[in-house]
Structure 1
Amino acid sequence: MRRAARGFTLVELVITVAILGLLASIAMPLAETMVRRSKEQELKAALTTLRDAIDAYRDAVEAGRVARSAGDAGYPASLQVLVDGVADRSAGAGGKLYFLRRVPRDPFADPALPAVQTWGLRSSDSPPDAPQPGKDVFDVRSLSEGQALDGTPYRSW
């Protein structure tokens, strides 16, 4: 009497590989959607952070804590000003106001670019339907050509 050999048959292995391939093909789009959703959340948070800092700068100008020149709209000249700080007129000599620790980066932008260059800028004298950079930073937007999961372009956020 011969003992039956133990192991898997070729048919069992093929079926197992086919099932694993099917599961992987279902999981990949889900994983890509999760990564994209995470980047969208990062973009929303970065835009909120930058816009809050720009508004805080404007509030400081209105409160008289930051010097304002004639004809100045009261917005920062660049995003870097929010990190570098400005002289605080109410604190005396040497006091500075800081509005950001660092400029957040657009998660959809080229990682080789510095964070400051990943944003599209809109000056205070630029119309909302055709934002252009100018003498100050009134608002920021993503430069990404992509569309969000809800169908809106990232540039319009």
Structure 2
Amino acid sequence: MNLFLKRLSCRRGLTLLEMVIAMGILAILATAIVPYAEITVQRTKEMELRRALRTIRTALDEYKADYDKAVKEKKIIATVGESGYPPDLMSLVEGNDWGGLYENKHKYLRRIPQDPFDDNDEGWGFRSYADDYDSTVWGGEDIYDVHSQSTKIGLDGTPYSSW
């Protein structure tokens, strides 16, 4: 037994063969995990995009509902050609009191969510009430809908700009 302990105490570190085997195992694990991690990152960004679109679209719908309510209660006068949707996204952040419908300005967003796939700082794409549902060119009258301007394709095979 004493001879065995003596051999163990003299031997320090790893042999070259043990190092090569360990590096090979790590390389195999890394090649299996890296693609999975990339898909996980893309899936997370897709969830952020869905959440941001839902948040903005809900705020747009609330803005329109308040406009309709203010017109119905005769707090504001509707003008010809006005859809009731906001002229820009900052209107959702700044809010509106709708001619006394609310005591204070009713704000719909604290801030404008960012598009997680917006690599070129293009911002959101807009559609006005008069535009076609799949239009990629904004008419400029109001903001009826938003979409991503990314040219990338989602994991489900659809372009992010069509979400």
TM-score interval, normalised by the smaller of the two chains: 0.7 to 0.9
Larger Rg: 2
Corresponding position of 1:18 = 24
- Figure out how many residues of one structure are paired with residues of the other and give that number: 152
- What TM-score comes out, normalization by structure 2 length? 0.84
- What TM-score comes out, normalization by structure 1 length? 0.87
- What runs of 5+ residues in structure 2 fail to find an aligned partner? none
- The one-letter code sitting in structure 2 at the alignment partner of 1:132 is V
The answer as to 2:148 corresponding to 1:142 is yes
The answer as to 2:130 corresponding to 1:121 is no
What CA distance in whole angstroms lies between the structure 2 residues aligned with 1:63 and 1:138? 17
- The one-letter code sitting in structure 2 at the alignment partner of 1:39 is K
SS at match of 1:40: helix
Per-residue deviation, 1:69: 2.6
Corresponding position of 1:72 = 82
Contact 2:67/2:98 (CA < 8 Å) preserved in 1? no
Which is worse superposed, 29-38 or 1-10?
1-10
- Counting aligned pairs with the same residue, the percent is 42
What CA distance in whole angstroms lies between the structure 2 residues aligned with 1:31 and 1:18? 20
The answer as to 2:96 corresponding to 1:86 is yes
- Displaced runs of 4 or more, over 3 A: 1-5, 65-68
- The one-letter code sitting in structure 2 at the alignment partner of 1:110 is D
The answer as to 2:104 corresponding to 1:99 is no
Q: Which has the higher helix share?
A: 2
